[in-house]
Structures are given as C-alpha cells and as structure tokens.
Structure 1
Amino acid sequence: MKPSTFTVAVAALSTGVQGATYAVPGTAPAGAALLDPAPVGVSFEFFAFPSYFTNVTGTTQCLQNLQALTGTWPPIRIGGTTQDRADYDPSTSAYVVYSVASAVDAPAILTFGPSFMSLAAKYPGTVVVGLNRGHDNVSNTIAAAKVARSQMQNLLAIELGNEPEYYLGASQPVAVNAGSWTPAVDAASQNNWDILVGSALQAPLIIQAGNSNSAPPTWGAAELIATENATVKSYVHNYAHHNYPGGTVQSLMSHSGIVSDMTMFIPDVAAAQGTGKQYVLGETNSVSGGGAATVSPTFGAGLWTMDYALRASLLNISRTYFHHGTIGACQYCFWGRYDMGAPYYGAYAAAATMAGGSYISALDSGSTAFAVYVVYNSAKTPIKALLYNSNYFNGTGSRTSESFVLTGLAGNTLKAKRLTAVSALSRVDQGQNPSFGGQYFQNVTCSVGGTEAFESAAVSGGQATFSVKASEALLVYLQ
C-alpha cells in the first residue's frame, strides 16, 4: 500500500507450536507456473463501463492501487451479456444510449458510439473489448472493431460474443438463424467471424476466443480448438472462459473446494498452450447475476478472491478478470459509488503476493483447508509465501488457529502482513472493514487509510512458525 512506517512484533506469529510443515524450495521447482506481470484483472459489464469511469469516484484509484503493487496497470475487459445487446452507431456522440425502467436495470437493447472506444483508449493498461455476435450483424461489428483498432493503442484483443451457449434461450438471431445451436454450430460461427473480423482489420492475434460459461469440456477451449484451422488460429490472441462457482460463504472460501472447482480448466489450459496461446478467465466472480447478498459482499468472498486468483495463476491461467456489473446492484463488486467491497481486499492481497514475481508454486496438497503458495523472482529465488487458513469462522464461539511451519528459510527474521477481519461474514457496508497489514481502503475514494504494519518472526535453524487464524491469511516476505 504505502511505504512502511510502522513495524510491530506479534508474539502469536511465532508460537513454537508445531503444525503442518512445509519445506520452501531454494529455487522454483520445474513445474512452477510462469506469472503474468499483472495477473489480477477487472471486467466491466459493457453498458456500465462508461459510468464506472465517469461517475464512480473510486474506479481509477482502485485500479491504481493495484498498479502501485505490480508496476503494471491491471488488465481490464469490457463485455458481458449486454455486449450482445449493443449495436454500434457511428452517428451518436454519447458513450452509450439506452432506456431502462429503473437505474439498477440492465438494458435489453442499446447503442454505443465512437466515444465509447475513445474512453477505453484512455486507460493506461491493456483492454479487451467485447463486441456483438448475437445479433448476427457482422458488418456492424466490423465497423465497431475498426474504430476500436484505430483509436485504442491499448487494445489487447476483441471478443466476438459473450457466453454463446445461452444464445438460443435468449432468442439471439445468430442462433435462431442457424436453425440449431450446439457447440459445433457455435464453433463454426466463431471461426467464421474470427476470419471475417481479423481479415477486415488486417490484424493477426486479435481475437479472444471462447468466452463460454458452461463447465468444460463442453463449450470449452479444447473443444473449440479442435475445430479451428490454421487461418482461424492466426487471428486468435488467446482463449477465455467464464466461471461463477457460487455456494455459501463457507463452501466458496474453502481451499479444497477452490482447488476442486478449478481442476476443470486444466485440459483447456493445456489445449491453449498446445497452440502457443494463453488461457484466461475472461469473466468471473463469486456468484452469477451480480452476486448473492448473503455471500458476495463478505470477507469470506474476499478470501475466495485471493485464493482463486492465486490458484488460477498456479494453473497457468494468465489473467483473471473479476466482473463488475450494474452499478448499485452489484454484490460482488470490488467497489461502487459509496462503499468499498470486502472482495477488493482479497484481490489486493493476491496482487501483493504475486507482485514482482515470475513464478508461482504451491506447497500444500490442495485437499485440506490450508494453502501455501510460494512466489519466485526471475532468478527463481523464493521471495514470498502466502499462508491461508480457509476454516470458516462466522464470528461466534472460539476462533481456531493453525500453525504453519516453514523450513528452508534464510536470514534471522522475517516480516509478514496479515489479511484479516472480525469474521468471514464481515462486510464493509456494515461497518466491519477488513485490513491488510493494518491498512484499509477509504469508502468512495478507494485511497489507503491506516498505518502500514508488518509483523515479525524469528528464524531458527532455517525454520519459523506462523500462526494464522480461521478465515485469515498471512503474506510472508522471504527476502
């Protein structure tokens, strides 16, 4: 957050009580995953994107906080259901034009103009723009893509359609006109559009392909890649999938549950890598439809965000874009017009863990409540370890604690930052801010509040013990 101004030694950090022991490798193991410079990204619902950047005070500061950690602006993606309801109108000067009965409704139909792309062009980081395939108007989409290509020096890729498996149920013309709609029919449509748009732009490596939400292998990248010829592949920049695991706070934040949920992506990641392309989670968050009021705004969801982002990177998922939906009706959003969201703390802790790293590995089995991630620098030297106790604490009764014993350590003393809250059910909008290293994020502005505090632990014989309470995490600096 801010430069360290305060350090405290916490006796509970190094208790001498033996718990599970994890040997920190002196060098990154052969299977360590390569880290993207900014693995934690943000997705914005298409129609709401302009408002996030013109009407929400905290947006730029929240993104800049992440940039301050990594040195790279977090990647953003603009898309979602409303990208397939949006048609390009070159004559309008407005970012977007639509009508809704209530301010918290998403529009059923909308148009957008060139200024939409000029606004996106101002963002200092990379941008993926999602465009309409559902309306089956490829000439209109090409017109919009050309404006994006010409105005946006930061354009990373273009999506052609969002979650196409739902097209038929939504009566989208591209599916209705096809006569039937299956993964194979959609793949043929995607491949054709990739070629038409890519060739019209005269731009190789311009398409973010896939973008489905159904659990792989059906509608997955491996299935899609099997249908692609060399021409299609020449236009594909990367492959993407969406994911909303859902569940209760307790099930969502479970480390073993997160590991289990994400195993479904392993074959698709391998298929993408087999073509020399990256694989990303192009849209994801805790619970679909803007989140669940009893789950998504909680600190437990923030711990899920942290563990989920780290696990994705461990699986060679290059970037994870956490979705932000309708302003004022978004339970899982990292921030809004007024209150910060507890999930932002988890995203920040994940970014802090991976910042400056080149590789990541896990020391835990993935089958318990306890996670241990190790991040390595470009020389493959371990620089940080993230310890996570995903046991659920709801604020009542005694709060249990786990001792993590790390061996293979260098030096005499290590410092650490704790991610904590009163309980897994803590919510910022109910007055229970989490903290990371003693600091928090101001409501409305997203500026950092509080004084940064490091805990310290003695290393003896290359070993140190760290105590982490249920529903807490600790970031240990190994250098």
Structure 2
Amino acid sequence: MSSTLGVTFVSFLLLFLSAIQRCSASITVYYQNGQTPLATASSTASSANYTGPIAYSPVVLNAPAPPGASAFPTNFALQMSSPVPSGASIPQNGSFFGFSIEMSVVNQVLGKNASFLQVPFLNLMANIQQRTGRINIRVGGNTQETATLVNSTPDGRILEKDLQNVSNPTQTPPLIFTPELLYMLRNISSLVNVRWYLGVPFNDTSNFRLAIVEQGQRILGDYLIGLQVGNEPDLYAAHGHRPSTYSPQNYTTEFGEMITAMTNDVNISPHTRSLLIGPSISVVWTPEQVWNTDFVDLYSPNLGFLAVERYPTDNCAVAFPGSGAQYNDPQTTFPTFLTHQSGLTIVSEYLNSTNFAQTKGKELLMFETNTASCGGFPGISDSFGAALWGVDYGLQMAAVNFSGALFHVGGQSVAYNPFTPPPTNQSTYHQWTIGPIYYSALVVAEALGPTNTSQVMDLQANNNNMLSPAYGIWENGNLARVVLINFVSDSTGASDISVDLSLANGAQLPGQVQVKYLSAASVSQKGNITWASQTYGENFESDGRPLGTENIETITCSSATGSSICTIKVPAPGVALVFLTSETAAAPSQTFSTTALTKTRNTATVAPSVLATSNGHSGMANELGSTSPGSNKNGAQGRGALVGGVMAMALAVLAGWLMSGARF
C-alpha cells in the first residue's frame, strides 16, 4: 500500500494497542497456575532500618542474664496476717489504675465524633469495667494548655491541630475543638462507666477560656469528676510559656485567679468549682515547695484532688534531636525497669505528700505517668518487661497511699501506649495494637477488685529481694488476694520461684486457692502476652476482646504439718495473682458491635471450609477480577467487551479503506 496509508494504518494500530493498555490499567490480575508474576515480593526491612511509626517498632532488646542462685533464692516462705496489718494502705478504689489520653489524639483513640465511637476502645474499657465497676480517664496533657472550644471547625471535624505554630521541645500544636468532642465522651459513658478528668487551658491568665468547663458540666454531668488547672507548671519556664523566674508562688497566685474567673462565670456551678486539680508538677519543683505556699489551705473548698506527674526517665534525646536532652541507651536502661527498686525510687519522693494529703482530707493522684517521657523506649515500653513493671509500680503507688494513677496514651509516635488504633490509612485492614501496660491494668484491676475496700501492702518478700516482690490485698478487713512477681527472664526454668504461703497465728488458708498468671517467654517479648491464657495478640490484631479460653489454675494446699501451706510457683518471668476466696472472676464483659461500615470496597470473603482445602487458585481457573473502584463487577468481562468494540471499529475502518480502492 502507499506510504501514507501505511503510516496511517501503523498509527492506528499503535492507537489500538494503547487503547487496550489503557483498558487494563485499572485491572488487578490474579495469576494462574504456571504463570510468573511481573515482580517479586518486597523484603521486610530490618529493625535497624525501620522508619515506620514508633508504636509498631520491631526493635527487640536483649533480656538481662539471670542473676544466679546466690543473688536470687527461688524458694521462700511468705507468712501473712489474716486481719489487716498495721502499715497497709488506705482503702483503694478498684478504678485505681486509669488512663490519661493526650487531647490531640482523642479523635483517633475514642472516636471520630459523638456518633462514630471506636468499638475496640469500648471493648477494652468494658474488660476493665467488668473487674472494677468503672474506669477513670483524663483527657488532656500538653495539648490542653492551648486548646480552644469553638462552635465548629472549617472541615467539620471535632478537633483540629495547628501544626504551623507548635511549641515546647515536644512540638505541641495548638488545638481547636467543638462541643461534639464532649458529647462523644458522654456517649462513651452511656455504654461503659467511664468518668472523665478534663484539662482547662492555662496558657493565658489574662483571658481564661472557660468554655470547656461550662460545656463539660452541662454535657457530662456526674461523669465529670475533675478539672486540671495547669499541666506540669514547673516546666513552663523551660518551655517558654512563662518568665524564667516563674515559681511555685506564681502558680499558686494564678490558680487563685482561675478560681476567681470561675466564680464570676454565672454558667459554672459551685459544684463544678469544687472539682479542681493541682498542682500537677513534674520534676523541677518538689511538691513541698507548692504546699509551702499554703496552696491547699487557700483553695481547699475548690480542690477536688491533689496531683503530681512523673516518668522515671526519658527518651527526649532521640524523640527530639537538638533539644539538648541526655541520651539514655535503651539496652542499658532496660534492666532498671526489671526490678522492684524502680517503683520504690519513684514513690519515695512522694511519701511525705501522700501523708500530707490525708491530713488535709484530699486524695493524691499520679495524674500522668508511664515508662519514659518523650514517647518511651522501643524495646522497653512495648515489651513484657513493661507489663511486669506496670503491675509492680501500680501496686506500689497504691501501697503508699496514692489514690489513683493514670498511664498516658499518645499517638503513633510513642512506644508506651496501652492501646493504639491503626494509622488512619490502614484502618480498613488493620486492627488495634494492645500494649503491655494494658495487661498491667487488667492485673491491678483484678487484684484490687470492685468493692472499693481493698488495702494494699508491700510484703518485702524473699528477704526484700528486688527481683521477686509480693503484695497482700485485704478486702473488707480480710486477706483476699496475693500478688507475686518474678522479674527474672530465664527459659531454663532454673529461676522460676516457689512461694509457700501461710497465715500467722495458727489461722488456716482454704484447702484450695486459684491462680491467674500473666505470662510471656521473655521480658523482651513483644505481643502475645497472656493473662490467664488469654491474649490480645500482636500488632494490628485486636478488636478489644481477649482471644482464647480463660484458664484459672487450682492449687491444692497442704496441711501435713498442722498448718495450711499453699505453694505457688511463678515462672521467670511472670506474675501470679492468688485468690484466697471463691471470687475469682466476674461475668463475661459486654462487648460492642460495629454500627458503621467504613470498608466498602475489596470486601470479598471466602468460606473458611473452602479456603482450608484450597491452594489459593481454586475457582479462579477461568476468571480475572478487578479490585479497582468503579470497575465493572466482572473486570475480565468488561475488558473483553471493550476490546471487542475497539476491534470491531478497526475492522470497519479497514473495510472502508478496501472499498475505496486502497491497495496493499
């Protein structure tokens, strides 16, 4: 044919082939038997090269070596008093162990709005409510200080961050939020018995923003139990929020100014003004420096609680390079969490304050705490060792008369979260990640129980050995439970402990006791921790409900010597909760179903019975399928129809050329 016609026809063929290529551009092809995929699977990055969110870091540290028999006797006796002994704590609420949720992440952790609540969160709280009757949660943190309540946000969300105007070494963004956030808290409380502490903005004392107080009392009602005035005011100067001369007396004066502003606000009731919490200091000031300003006596009618905040160490040098913070090596730091000494050291600075609070008729709260500030340590904060530490630290605070402790929850950039929702762009196919501190909360909840009468005492077990602490819990005046902890990590069994429990003054233990175990293979283990043989799995595997069948072991006690002795074994590592009464577990917790559909594409399912006998290709012999939005239901069929149409058009054009006399 002519050169012009040849070029035109070749061009048409290229156009035709291009059309076919475009037709298949949105098609996902499932390869058939014998075919080779176009690309091989990507390999997983090593821990050293991990660049994803810290909440899912794969870093695993080395467990400390076992101390040996000379430093760690593995067989010892523990004789206790049946009545409450001198030195036991004040009666503690079962809700002692609560959570502090950073205000900037509530729309990730709690829900998107008042109608769209996070079902896994509800289930996690229901698990604790089953054991204690209620849960106390604080919404606040650094981000409460610059938060402003507005009627609406530009995009309709309940909360927005101003990432262009961050402050602090911790890069805290100012927030705006709507009343919908408070309605969300209220709706959560209608499903599970959560009581709320709210943070009041305190960055501008010339213009107190009290809308959160006004709306909080109206929306939450009795579910509002406290209002924090100032978060870590002893760090204000260092963070550039107050002059370098800012002192405890300055804080006390400003606290009074806040009370005056609330008193002058006709929308704030006298009851709400009695829920204030302070001084919530960290480590720069001592509590005594604040008490010495007459803070408590001046504002006693308004103080619902006294509070402090404390992390045992920090990872700020890594989280915020250039901040000038001292670097703490995680591997070197790890053993400091695997000892009873950690909790003893922390609470030693507050013994005077817990006594002081009682003399003033106030409760002292550890209002924010966790393994390490600035996000914690990957390999420590997310390991089984942190679960052991959380149990010991929580019970130690209860034993020295703190009245509650809130373990902090941050976002994707921290390692210490008790629970973490998946990143937003993965929420359609990933579930939640449950951290070790949540397991600590379950153990402490069951140890204290729901009666709100439990008194706790450090038993200084094993000649006060720092690797095997133990606690007695007396309920309604009688010994009810014992907690035994083994911090040692030893897979050989040589460091498992064996404890002979007995009662003093000839009193007899029951013929049998029941035991629940908190277990993992190593203090370094991540995920798949078990509490009474139930687990929340690994990263991205939980909907907030425990997996597996609960296993409560029954131990027969011996009376061969005339006195009753119950021998309890505790693996290395592990925790044993020993029940000396018949009350071991409450009814199964209520769980919640998903009421909103978020995953509306790529939702094909296969019957488990079919999948079990399939090699992955069964039923696909003559099918190609599409996973692309907007594609035909049968992508192969649609593509065939489109290709056929293009081919018909090509033949029609060619016929036209032939009829016009064109020659080849």
Question: Which is bigger in relative contact order (C-alpha 8 A, separation at least 6)?
Answer: 1
Q: CA deviation at 1:353?
A: 1.0
Report if aligned partners of 1:279, 1:318 keep a CA contact under 8 Å in 2: yes
Q: Residue 227 of structure 1 corresponds to which residue in structure 2?
A: 294
Q: Residue 38 of structure 1 corresponds to which residue in structure 2?
A: 95
Q: CA deviation at 1:399?
A: 5.2
The superposition leaves residues 106-137 of structure 1 with CA deviations (integer Å, 9 ceiling, x where unpaired) of 65222122222222223232110012112335
Structure 2: how far apart are the matches of 1:375 and 1:407? 14
1:251-266, aligned counterparts within 5 Å? Answer: 251-266=336-351
Mapped pair 1:414 → 2:414: no
1:105-116, aligned counterparts within 5 Å? Answer: 108-116=173-181
Comparing 36-45 and 108-117, the one that deviates more: 108-117
User: Structure 2 counterpart of 1:61, which letter?
Assistant: N
Q: Residue 334 of structure 1 corresponds to which residue in structure 2?
A: 418
Q: Residue 190 of structure 1 corresponds to which residue in structure 2?
A: 255
Report if aligned partners of 1:406, 1:465 keep a CA contact under 8 Å in 2: yes
Q: Residue 425 of structure 1 corresponds to which residue in structure 2?
A: 524
Q: CA deviation at 1:435?
A: 0.7
Q: Structure 1 residues 441, 91: CA separation in 2 closer, same or farther (over 3 Å shift)?
A: closer
Secondary structure of the residue aligned to 2:473 is strand
**Of 374, 378, 401, which residue of structure 1 is paired with 2:496?**
401
Structure 2: how far apart are the matches of 1:46 and 1:40? 19
Secondary structure of the residue aligned to 2:199 is strand
Comparing 221-230 and 197-206, the one that deviates more: 221-230
Secondary structure of the residue aligned to 2:110 is helix
**Of 105, 109, 129, which residue of structure 2 is paired with 1:52?**
109
Comparing 24-33 and 283-292, the one that deviates more: 24-33
Q: CA deviation at 1:275?
A: 1.1
The superposition leaves residues 11-49 of structure 1 with CA deviations (integer Å, 9 ceiling, x where unpaired) of xxxxxx982221121111133221113111011001112
Structure 2: how far apart are the matches of 1:311 and 1:137? 41
Q: Structure 1 residues 281, 121: CA separation in 2 closer, same or farther (over 3 Å shift)?
A: same
The superposition leaves residues 348-383 of structure 1 with CA deviations (integer Å, 9 ceiling, x where unpaired) of 1111111145222222265532211111222x1111
Structure 1: how far apart are the matches of 2:264 and 2:480? 44
Q: Structure 1 residues 229, 294: CA separation in 2 closer, same or farther (over 3 Å shift)?
A: closer
Structure 2: how far apart are the matches of 1:222 and 1:269? 15
The structure with more strand, counted as a fraction of residues: 1
Q: Structure 1 residues 18, 334: CA separation in 2 closer, same or farther (over 3 Å shift)?
A: closer
Q: Residue 436 of structure 1 corresponds to which residue in structure 2?
A: 531
Q: Structure 1 residues 42, 274: CA separation in 2 closer, same or farther (over 3 Å shift)?
A: same
User: Structure 2 counterpart of 1:49, which letter?
Assistant: V
Mapped pair 1:446 → 2:544: yes
The superposition leaves residues 444-464 of structure 1 with CA deviations (integer Å, 9 ceiling, x where unpaired) of 312011111122222123112
Q: CA deviation at 1:195?
A: 4.1
Structure 2: how far apart are the matches of 1:436 and 1:106? 37
Unaligned runs of 5+ in 1: 1-16
Secondary structure of the residue aligned to 2:138 is strand
Secondary structure of the residue aligned to 2:578 is strand
Structure 2: how far apart are the matches of 1:284 and 1:37? 18
The superposition leaves residues 230-273 of structure 1 with CA deviations (integer Å, 9 ceiling, x where unpaired) of 45111000111111113723211311222222111111111111
Q: CA deviation at 1:475?
A: 0.7
Unaligned runs of 5+ in 2: 1-72, 113-117, 165-169, 314-329, 422-431, 582-664
Q: Structure 1 residues 231, 260: CA separation in 2 closer, same or farther (over 3 Å shift)?
A: closer
Structure 1: how far apart are the matches of 2:186 and 2:177? 15
Report if aligned partners of 1:221, 1:272 keep a CA contact under 8 Å in 2: no
Structure 1: how far apart are the matches of 2:174 and 2:280? 21
Q: Structure 1 residues 121, 199: CA separation in 2 closer, same or farther (over 3 Å shift)?
A: farther
Structure 2: how far apart are the matches of 1:236 and 1:253? 36
User: Structure 2 counterpart of 1:423, which letter?
Assistant: S
Q: Residue 64 of structure 1 corresponds to which residue in structure 2?
A: 126
The superposition leaves residues 189-247 of structure 1 with CA deviations (integer Å, 9 ceiling, x where unpaired) of 223323433563233421011111116xx342663364226451110001111111137
Structure 1: how far apart are the matches of 2:130 and 2:510? 27
Structure 2: how far apart are the matches of 1:296 and 1:287? 8
Secondary structure of the residue aligned to 1:64 is helix
1:307-318, aligned counterparts within 5 Å? Answer: 307-318=392-403
Mapped pair 1:73 → 2:134: yes
The structure that has the greater radius of gyration is 2
Structure 1: how far apart are the matches of 2:472 and 2:264? 43
* TM-score, normalised relative to structure 2: 0.63
Q: Residue 469 of structure 1 corresponds to which residue in structure 2?
A: 571
Q: Residue 7 of structure 1 corresponds to which residue in structure 2?
A: none
* Percent identity between the two aligned chains: 20
- Between Structure 1 and Structure 2, how many residues are aligned? 444
Secondary structure of the residue aligned to 1:361 is strand
Structure 2: how far apart are the matches of 1:311 and 1:350? 11
Q: CA deviation at 1:386?
A: 0.6
The superposition leaves residues 335-359 of structure 1 with CA deviations (integer Å, 9 ceiling, x where unpaired) of 1123211221122111111114522
User: Structure 1 counterpart of 2:299, which letter?
Assistant: V
Comparing 218-227 and 357-366, the one that deviates more: 218-227
Q: Residue 86 of structure 1 corresponds to which residue in structure 2?
A: 147
User: Structure 1 counterpart of 2:548, which letter?
Assistant: G
* TM-score, normalised relative to structure 1: 0.87
Q: Structure 1 residues 150, 329: CA separation in 2 closer, same or farther (over 3 Å shift)?
A: same
Report if aligned partners of 1:225, 1:271 keep a CA contact under 8 Å in 2: no
Structure 1: how far apart are the matches of 2:194 and 2:289? 29
Q: Residue 95 of structure 1 corresponds to which residue in structure 2?
A: 158
Structure 2: how far apart are the matches of 1:121 and 1:313? 28
